[in-house]
Structure 1
Amino acid sequence: MMNELFILGELMEEPQSGYHLRNALQVSLGHHRKISYGVIYPLLEKLEKKGFLEITNVESDKKNKKIATITEKGKERFLELMKMPVPKGAHNADIYLIKLDVMQHLALDEQIQLLDQFYQEQKDIMEDTQNALRKLAEKDSKDHWYASRKFELRLRQTTVAIEWIEKFKHELKKEW
């Protein structure tokens, strides 16, 4: 879902090559996640077979380049993916980042709803982290001291995310 959502979201902006899509995904997710062309090109072919995009050959600088363009069916699929709840799991933070990057294609109330879901996710992380910190405080040990520092970092990250969400929602409501 994550890679499909990203590709369709990027193509909502403009047609792009697999090379550019891979680089954009790498930048979006950060250097901790390696994105290979072996993931991107088969996915582009799969999305083309489903009718979500069209791939055309364009000659550029003596090279044959394949450019992907989203179709109407692909736009519908993109909106469907955007409206799906973010699943719990290892990649949910990445999915939120992707959705936040392309949420301008949603209606205002849908954008607010997405931000509310992200807000709740951050609140849940904050609660879990506070519980972990309370447990660690029950026993004084060097290991717990180090673990507490890590949890304090996570707590600060969620606090910043929550402040960012609140500010973003305020700005959105002001703009519209």
Structure 2
Amino acid sequence: MNELFILGELMEEPQSGYDLRNALQASLGRHRKVSYGVIYPLLEKLENDGFLDITNVESHGKNKKMATITEKGKERFFVLMNMPVPSGAHTADIYLIKLDVMQHLTLDEQMQLLDQFDQEQREIIEDTQFALKKLAEENSKDHWYASKRFELRLQQANVAIDWIKEFKHELKKEW
């Protein structure tokens, strides 16, 4: 996930580890803490793998390390972008990252990604409706509160589907 984000950000322009960490933090939101202890070792690994180059640049009298994506890194970026998003704890974060850097894909690939995200939301709706049905079978105060949380998840997925539909419409007009 972090590798995809870093390579995607570097598709735009060279950046420092500090800038990459701040961008990832902004992308994932304030409740997901991204440490420099994750970013800098990953940058070193990506450099060792030949996916990026790190150079020292002087800026305002300070020495700054800047990361630049290589051709091999660009190839890796496209491999990662075209991999299916795995189900798990980070599924939503991976979709957010892919949506953030999808401008580097062809229109068809962007539409496929949006279709995959749409399918993920529809599966969330299906799972949530099933859970709501089960909760409704036993009327208790605990289940009432749980159903409220599930109703929120249902509304979030429906909003995402509406957003996807609008985004696809806008993409078709732009291309």
1:68 is matched with which residue?
67
Within 5 Å, give how 1:20-169 maps onto structure 2.
20-169=19-168
CA drift at 1:171: 1.1
Aligned length: 175
Distance of 1:20 and 1:136 partners within structure 2: 45
Q: Secondary structure at the match of 2:65?
A: strand
Q: Secondary structure at the match of 1:87?
A: coil
Normalized against structure 1, the TM-score is what?
Answer: 0.98
Letter in 2 for 1:16: Q
- The two structures, once aligned, show a CA RMSD in angstroms of 0.6
Unaligned stretches of 5+ in structure 2?
A: none
Letter in 2 for 1:45: E
CA drift at 1:124: 0.2
Distance of 1:58 and 1:149 partners within structure 2: 53
CA drift at 1:150: 0.2
Letter in 2 for 1:119: D
The 4+ residue runs of structure 1 with deviation greater than 6 A are: none
Normalized against structure 2, the TM-score is what?
Answer: 0.99
CA drift at 1:62: 2.6
Distance of 1:14 and 1:49 partners within structure 2: 20
Q: Secondary structure at the match of 1:65?
A: strand
CA drift at 1:52: 0.5
CA drift at 1:38: 0.4
Distance of 2:64 and 2:136 partners within structure 1: 58
What is the identity percentage for the equivalent residue pairs of Structure 1 and Structure 2?
81
Letter in 2 for 1:95: I
Please give the per-residue CA displacement for 1:7-43, whole angstroms capped at 9, x wherever unaligned: 0000000000000000000000011211000000000
CA drift at 1:174: 1.7
Distance of 1:86 and 1:32 partners within structure 2: 22
Letter in 1 for 2:127: D
Distance of 1:105 and 1:97 partners within structure 2: 15
